[in-house]
Amino acid sequence: MLIDTFGRVATDLRVSLTDRCNLRCAYCMPEEGLSWLAKPDLLTDDEIVRLIRTAVTSLGIEEVRFTGGEPLLRPGLVGIVERVAALAPRPRISLTTNGIGLARTAAALKAAGLDRVNVSLDTLRPDVFKTLARRDRHRDVLEGLRAAHEAGLTPVKVNSVLMPGLNDDEAPDLLAWAIEHDYELRFIEQMPLDAQHGWKREGMVTAQDILDSLRTRFELTPEDAGERGSAPAERWIVDGGPYRVGVIASVTRPFCAACDRTRLTADGQIRTCLFAGEETDLRAALRDGASDEEIGRIWRLAMWGKKAGSGLDDPAFLQPERPMSAIGG
């Protein structure tokens, strides 16, 4: 069991498979990209599967989410999913992706054992997408979403970040589009994920701004609080149901007290929080011949030291120095 001093138990493992990405989203990284990790620094497929197996069979992990960078860029992704799906007990397996390449891989990922996907899409306007992502790939994302739905990777969740002056007027249109296509939409407050440290608390589009905008077109009824559990998204029933929309208020309404996550970076570090300032090295232990029991001991000790919160609700919050692309969302 991965428990901390505040009584929280981690059952959800986020695994970053690569720090690389084929987009350059303005809220994530600079246009010229970053200095990527050297291949020897990355965990191998076997190392990833071994750490996940240890987490699932010995540490109480029930859900595994593959992230990046962009996880579809990992050459061995389908094989990794297949091996994780064969574990006993079998964890729930999901993937967070920008959707580029999903059209050609969705069916194979489903066959390998992937349960569902979260796809990032911030706008319905191709020109705005090009401005935000600095790449002209809007159609590829839409095709990836369609392929995921057809392959049965459901519920297909769409994650959207609204930014002032770019797409902050699109919330109602995005929700209407998601309902039309049977996707579950979740808005995420912009967080300080950018390596160039351009994030500013002042002027950000807040959860309340998003809800106010949605209510100009839809009736929103809060979902029963008991249904949320440890999920980061607060959800509202749209026009009486059955569709729902979620809002993740990471900055203005942090949900740290219910956090059940632990994170494994692309280079084998344990992070107790997306915004933690410290990491615990599992890669070195693996490559030095540590047993599964020793790896579990290191992991439990790391999680025991998890802090009460992310610090995002502190106006004096300082962004972490490590690029978020290697850590995963």
Per DSSP (E only), the strands in 34-146 are 63-67, 92-97, 116-120
pLDDT at 226: 65
Tell me the mean pLDDT in the region 244-271: 91
Confidence at 34, pLDDT banded by 50, 70, 90: low
pLDDT at 317: 47
Q: Output the six-digit token pair for 239.
A: 């026009």
pLDDT at 328: 55
What is the DSSP secondary-structure string of 83-100? HHHTSSSPPEEEEEE--T
For residue 221, give the H/E element and its range: strand 220-222
pLDDT of residue 30 exceeding 70, the answer is no
d(CA 113, CA 131): 35
User: Which range, of 11-15, 108-112, 204-208, 297-301, averages the lowest pLDDT?
Assistant: 204-208
pLDDT at 324: 47
DSSP class of 14: E
Burial class (CB in 10 A: 0-12, 13-18, 19+), 119: buried
Residue pointed to by tokens 């084929």: 22
User: Which range, of 12-21, 82-91, 217-226, averages the lowest pLDDT?
Assistant: 217-226
pLDDT of residue 199 exceeding 50, the answer is no
pLDDT at 200: 57
Tell me the mean pLDDT in the region 2-29: 89
d(CA 21, CA 325): 8
pLDDT at 74: 96
Tell me the mean pLDDT in the region 214-228: 88
> How many CB atoms are closer than 10 A to CB 261?
20
Q: Output the six-digit token pair for 140.
A: 């590829």
Contact 85, 115 (CB under 8 A): no
List the one residue out of 258, 257, 234 whose CA is nearest residue 244: 234
d(CA 233, CA 220): 15
pLDDT of residue 215 exceeding 50, the answer is yes
Per residue in 291-309, pLDDT (tens digit) is: 999 999 999 999 999 998 7
